[in-house]
Amino acid sequence: MFHKSSVKLAGLYLAVMMAISAFFSLTVYQLSTQEFDRVLRRPVPVQGQGFEGGMGPRYIARLEDNRLEELRIARSRVLMRLIIINLVILMGGGLLSYYLAQRTLRPIEKAHEALERFTADASHELRTPIAAMQNEIEVALMDPQLTLKDAKQQLQSNLEELAKLTMLSEGLLRLAQLSNDKIVFKKLSAKTIIEDAISHVLRRAEQKNILLETSKIKDAKFMGDKSSMAEAVVVLLDNAIKYSSSNSTVSVRVFEKAKTVNIAIKDKGMGIKATQLPHIFERFYRADAARAKQESGGYGIGLSIAKTITDLHGGSISVKSTPGKGSTFTVHLPKA
């Protein structure tokens, strides 16, 4: 599809190029023709040296013929050269147009590929729990000895799958919203953002008896949107809790550098392998260790949401991780 479009666009570029070239060639040809005619209208130099004596009307006529012949040759030479120049422009311009058309369409092609990949991944993720639910329901319906207790268990399991589907669709919706979002920047306090985020994850931390350590929080200021920034911090805190074992500690630290306000979230959890680190911000990516841990139940969308939000704030997220020891995710934001 993109090859066809490149050819079409190249054709369009070439047509414009050839129209301009033809216009200039015609102008040059007309101007030179006018110039030749002007020369032709000038009287033959009969008074000059070498014309005196023995110079009759026949001689002058022959001279005039010669001049006409020379002008005709000069005119056709100009025409020939213009044709050659136009042919060269046609060939060179054709190649150049194709190259330019490909360059123009490449970003669109990339965006299209990303969208296709995203749609395929999203439908795969949606299909898996739906197929699991369908299978379970069919098996239950075919079981003649199905008791009320079994049916309730079945419904409970379906409810869990539905909760996952809701989480997935909400995540997808949020990603779609973020790609169209315009951030309304306000001066924010890192401390307020972290307190807000902690209130969202406190119950989950308590359930695993994880201590949230917040003694090193500097009240630095940065520009941003309060709720989306808190959302990004919630993702990081949530992961730190999710991928840590019970009774451990997650610490949050805020520190300033020359140009940035930094929020670091450190856990003593399972960590991430170096080979998997470059991929964790990709949509739907889950490291093997996280996949194996069924109860964590994510879809690999959280970090891409956090990264998109940070990018929208002109910041970045960096990670340091040692498998088996823990990870530190740091959000770097430009200072207010």
Binding site for ligand ADP (CB under 6 A): 235, 239-240, 243, 267, 269-272, 280, 285-287, 290, 298-304, 327
Count CB-CB contacts under 10 A for residue 287.
Answer: 21
Residue whose CB is less far from ligand ADP, 222 or 281? 281
Radius of gyration for the alpha carbons in the chain, expressed in angstroms and rounded:
38
Q: How far is CA 210 from the centre of its chain?
A: 38
At closest approach, how far in Å is the CB of 186 from ligand ADP? 26
Residue whose CB is less far from ligand ADP, 224 or 302? 302
At closest approach, how far in Å is the CB of 254 from ligand ADP? 18
Quote the CA–CA distance of 132 and 175 in Å, as a whole number.
Answer: 25
Report the residue number whose CB is nearest to ligand ADP: 298
CA atoms within a 13 Å half-sphere pointing along the CA-CB vector of 213: 13
Quote the CA–CA distance of 319 and 332 in Å, as a whole number.
Answer: 11
Among candidates 327, 215, 218, which has minimal Cα distance to 262? 218
At closest approach, how far in Å is the CB of 278 from ligand ADP? 11
Amino acid at 74: A
The tokens for 220 are 């630095």
Pairing of strands 221-224, 316-322: unpaired
94 neighbors 101 (Cβ within 8 angstroms): no
Residue whose CB is less far from ligand ADP, 101 or 231? 231
246 neighbors 208 (Cβ within 8 angstroms): yes
Residues 6+ apart with CB under 8 A from 215: none
At closest approach, how far in Å is the CB of 222 from ligand ADP? 23
Residue whose CB is less far from ligand ADP, 89 or 241? 241
Among candidates 271, 267, 189, 258, which has minimal Cα distance to 230? 189
Residue whose CB is less far from ligand ADP, 225 or 267? 267
Quote the CA–CA distance of 122 and 124 in Å, as a whole number.
Answer: 5
Residue whose CB is less far from ligand ADP, 82 or 301? 301
Residue whose CB is less far from ligand ADP, 222 or 299? 299
Residue whose CB is less far from ligand ADP, 93 or 302? 302
Beta-ladder partners of 332: 262, 316
At closest approach, how far in Å is the CB of 139 from ligand ADP? 28
264 neighbors 250 (Cβ within 8 angstroms): no
At closest approach, how far in Å is the CB of 175 from ligand ADP? 11
At closest approach, how far in Å is the CB of 13 from ligand ADP? 42
At closest approach, how far in Å is the CB of 323 from ligand ADP? 9
